[in-house]
């Protein structure tokens, strides 16, 4: 078994060397899937062999019907590019790790630049592939994050419910999204780390962002709103599922509108009869 693992890692390493200069906008679904496998294979092989029967049972028990793992090998009907944005330390990496691998680590290194994952989901009976780009929240990487808003389909904008500054900076992130994109981009505003917002702490006068404040801001910036916890796996899948559902609905509407316009143009070009 160890020999097979070494052979697979060697094969993935060879494939990575040949794909180093590929632009993410030019990648096919198969190539993106291969990147996902390469980035996750090394750590997953080691940790999965050491996991206990109880851990595997718990993981299987929390699998949602809309995010079944074997969907990764099903040809998706559509693919959308989602960007996770927000200040540093609001939990973007933990969010994407919980969504894609159903894992949570109390301590993670800060993202440098961008990180990439893929997730295939069953959205109301339709298989949808999602490119998930985890951007760095530090100010020095802000220009990199902006570049990923240019051709994005949707944004998961996170703030920390225990950090008022990250909540106040949401408007700045929204302006960056609007300035960088030439279309209206659906935004899912996520109040993350709700597991740390305990009633006892709130009564002590600590600065927490309430659900009402988050909902009010979402309405002001014309965004969807949900509160999440990567630690407790609360509403992580629901946030992405609802955004993907909206993207599919918007695309269907664009197709219908495009069909109407094409029909009108065709009718206008018809020459009148001679009598």
Structural tokens at position 240: 């992405």
pLDDT in tens, 129-158: 999 998 875 555 567 767 878 889 999 999
pLDDT tens for each residue of the chain, 275 residues long:
545 545 554 554 455 444 444 444 555 555 555 555 554 444 443 334 333 334 443 444 444 445 445 665 788 999 999 999 999 989 999 999 999 999 998 876 665 556 789 999 999 999 999 999 988 755 555 677 678 788 899 999 999 999 999 999 999 999 999 999 888 999 999 999 999 998 755 555 567 999 999 999 999 999 999 999 999 999 999 999 999 999 999 999 988 887 555 455 555 555 555 54
Write the Ramachandran bin of 235: left for phi over 0, alpha for psi from -120 to 50, otherwise beta. Answer: left
User: Does CATH place domain 69-247 in 3.20.20.60?
Assistant: no
What is the structure's pLDDT at 172?
94
Q: Are 88 and 136 in contact (CB under 8 A)?
A: yes
**Domain locations along the chain:** 69-247
């Amino acid at each position: 078994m160890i020999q097979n693992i070494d052979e697979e890692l060697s094969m993935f390493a060879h494939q990575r060397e040949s794909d180093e200069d590929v632009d993410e906008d030019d990648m096919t679904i198969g190539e993106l899937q291969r990147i996902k496998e390469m980035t996750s294979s090394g750590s997953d092989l080691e940790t999965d062999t050491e996991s206990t029967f109880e851990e595997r049972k718990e993981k299987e028990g929390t699998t949602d019907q809309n995010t079944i793992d074997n969907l990764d090998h099903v040809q998706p009907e559509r693919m959308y590019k989602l960007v996770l944005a927000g200040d540093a330390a609001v939990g973007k990496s933990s969010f994407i790790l919980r969504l894609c691998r159903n894992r949570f680590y109390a301590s993670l290194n800060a993202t440098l630049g961008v990180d990439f994952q893929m997730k295939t989901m069953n959205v109301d009976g339709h298989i949808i592939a999602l490119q998930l780009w985890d951007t760095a929240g530090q100010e020095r990487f802000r220009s990199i994050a902006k570049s990923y808003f240019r051709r994005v389909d949707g944004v998961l904008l996170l703030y920390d419910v225990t950090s008022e500054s990250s909540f106040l900076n949401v408007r700045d992130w929204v302006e960056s999204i609007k300035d960088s994109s030439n279309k209206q981009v659906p935004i899912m505003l996520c109040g993350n780390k709700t597991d740390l917002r305990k009633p006892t702490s709130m009564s002590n006068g600590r600065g927490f962002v309430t659900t009402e404040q988050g909902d009010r801001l979402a309405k002001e910036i014309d965004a969807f709103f949900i509160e999440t916890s990567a630690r407790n796996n609360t509403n992580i899948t629901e946030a992405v599922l609802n955004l993907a559902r909206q993207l599919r609905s918007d695309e269907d509407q664009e197709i219908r509108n495009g069909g109407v316009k094409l029909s009108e143009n065709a009718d206008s070009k018809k020459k009148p009869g001679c009598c």
